[in-house]
Amino acid sequence: MATFLFDRIIFGPVKSRRLGSSLGINLLPSTSKLCNFDCIYCECGWSGDAKAAPGKLPDRREVREALEKKLAGMKEHCLPPDVITFAGNGEPTLHPDFPGIIDDTIGLRNKYFPSARIAVLSNSTTIARPGIREALLKVDQNILKLDSAFDLTVRIHNQPRVSLKVNELIENLRMFQGQLIIQTMFVRGTRDGVVIDNTVPAEIDAWLRALEMIKPSEVMIYTISRDTPDGSHLRKVPAAELREIAEMVRRLGIETQVSA
């Protein structure tokens, strides 16, 4: 089925299910996806050949200038964003100047729309690096992925292109000492004949135990809403079931948001 890429550095604002009016920042190539995950549900499509040279990344100056131009125009027309969101065509923290770009963005946000939040959507793979972790701790909403507490499920759902063990990932998430939001995609279907469903009791029980250890400030749970690379092989999880899962999280004392 059809997927899409963002063709510029700054995009939107768009209406986000989770964040409201979101002005997007794409730190990745405009012509290809750059990610160390290859999630079966990714709206940007497959990651392609891992050995191929990546497309051109925008440099720090280009990002700063593009963002300032956009924010100045929005200020002139009295169009404040709710949030400035790092998302785009893959994993934003892979940009080599990510920490510096976060600093620039905070300065521009404070200049033009000081009440706007800054958010980063990340797959959590780089948070062991002190520079990345420190940058994420500066933003209002660092939204970090944890789709399952089982290594096998992560290998099937997220298809990591880096060595990843979930127990180590959970320990890295704990290092944020609660200053993070966990995002989890729930999905069902099949992949190469393998049944996919991270809503079964064993999955939910292990995931809840992980949340108890991580102690995030909030959990965002959602399901697919756009086309995916696997097309009809994947299905949405009904909203009523997502709300049931959310209630389990709330019983842990963790604020929970559902996007169905």
pLDDT for 5 equals: 73
Domain boundaries, the chain: 10-259
Ranges under pLDDT 70 in the chain: 1-4, 47-55, 227, 229-232
Distance CA 183, CA 185 (A): 7
Distance CA 182, CA 157 (A): 16
CA neighbor of 52 nearest in space, from 68, 65, 34, 40: 34
* Superfamily grouping for domain 10-259: Aldolase class I (3.20.20.70)
Q: Is 22 helix (H, G, I), strand (E, B) or coil?
A: strand
**pLDDT digits over 34-59, tens only?**
899 998 888 877 766 555 555 689 99
Angle formed by the axes of helices 60-76 and 98-112, to 10°? 20
Using a 10 angstrom Cβ sphere, with 0-12 exposed, 13-18 middle and 19 or more buried, the burial of residue 167 is exposed
